Structure 1
Amino acid sequence: MKTQVLYASMTGHSKKIAHAIAERLSTQAYDLKDNPTLPECDLLFIVSGIYGGDSKPELISFVKSLSPAQVKKVALITSSTRNSAQGSLRQTLVDTGINVEPEEYICQGGFLFKAMGHPNKDEIEGAVVFAQKLVKEPVLS
């Protein structure tokens, strides 16, 4: 199964998570800031935080350019101080016709003095285990 990892990070938390997943899955982590050209894949992990209660607008714009021929399925991994899910990102992917894993891994994020130290080592490992589990499952389940 061809897997890729894309991340959007303002504080570096999503970057840490994405690189841990990419290392364990022996793939590359692409930074949204670099406006990457993603190779075709069976499963794309998108790692990002929630900013101001929603997904990053740049990430929403980027996923609008993806197609089901390029990306068969997406799994969302979120770091959030409010433990919020990626609602608008998920809906944009669905609207694009891309299959989205129903389960989303959400871990505690930290910002300024709120929830400092998050995501911690255990939360990052939890994201890696979540990713490994999905890689072992059929893509279009």
Structure 2
Amino acid sequence: MNIEVRYYSKSGNTKKIANAIAKQAGVSAKSIHEPIQGEVDLLFLGTGIYAFDIDPELKGYISTLNPANIKMVVVFSTAAIVQSAYEKTKKYLQDQGLHVSDKEYHCPGHYMILRTGHPNAEDIKKAEQFTRSILE
């Protein structure tokens, strides 16, 4: 199975989760600035929420994804205030013609004085468990 992990992270929160997911999947987490080459069975795509939406740069990245080359996308996210980036990210992915898993992983992310210490070791552990459940 060809697995890729891509993320968009301004503060490093989502990058931490991406690295945990990638480790469990036996691949390297890469920024969205590194294009996907070839066909992918499973793309883990991570983001934070910025001003209650996903970043325009991630929207642009999603518009470059070829649904003929990506079988399934699994969304993961971090945020200090909102509960999840899943619905917003899913909409952009589906508008691009991509299949999106109904399973997602979200954890709190540190921003200013909010959610200090997150993602923490427990958040990382849960991300690893989530990844294993997807790969089973």
TM-score (norm. length: structure 1): 0.89
Q: Tell me which residue corresponds to 1:62.
A: 61
Q: Report matched runs for 1:1-141 at 5 Å.
A: 1-32=1-32, 35-39=33-37, 40-82=39-81, 83-136=83-136
- Aligned counterparts of 1:37 and 1:126: Cα–Cα separation in 2: 27
RMSD over aligned Cα atoms:
1.2
* 8 A contact 1:7–1:47 mirrored in 2: yes
- Aligned counterparts of 1:25 and 1:89: Cα–Cα separation in 2: 21
Secondary structure (helix, strand or coil) at the match of 2:102 reads coil
The one-letter code matched in structure 2 to 1:110 is: H
* 8 A contact 1:72–1:98 mirrored in 2: yes
Shift of 1:88: 2.7
Residue-by-residue CA offset, 1:10-69 (whole Å, 9 max, x unaligned)? 11111111112112211121112xx21213210100111111111111011101111122
* 8 A contact 2:77–2:85 mirrored in 1: yes
- The alignment of Structure 1 onto Structure 2 pairs a total of residues equal to 134
The one-letter code matched in structure 1 to 2:23 is: E
- Aligned counterparts of 1:21 and 1:104: Cα–Cα separation in 2: 12
Shift of 1:98: 0.8
- Aligned counterparts of 1:130 and 1:88: Cα–Cα separation in 2: 20
- Aligned counterparts of 2:55 and 2:96: Cα–Cα separation in 1: 17
Q: Structure 1 vs Structure 2: percent identity of aligned residues?
A: 35
* 8 A contact 1:55–1:86 mirrored in 2: no
TM-score (norm. length: structure 2): 0.92
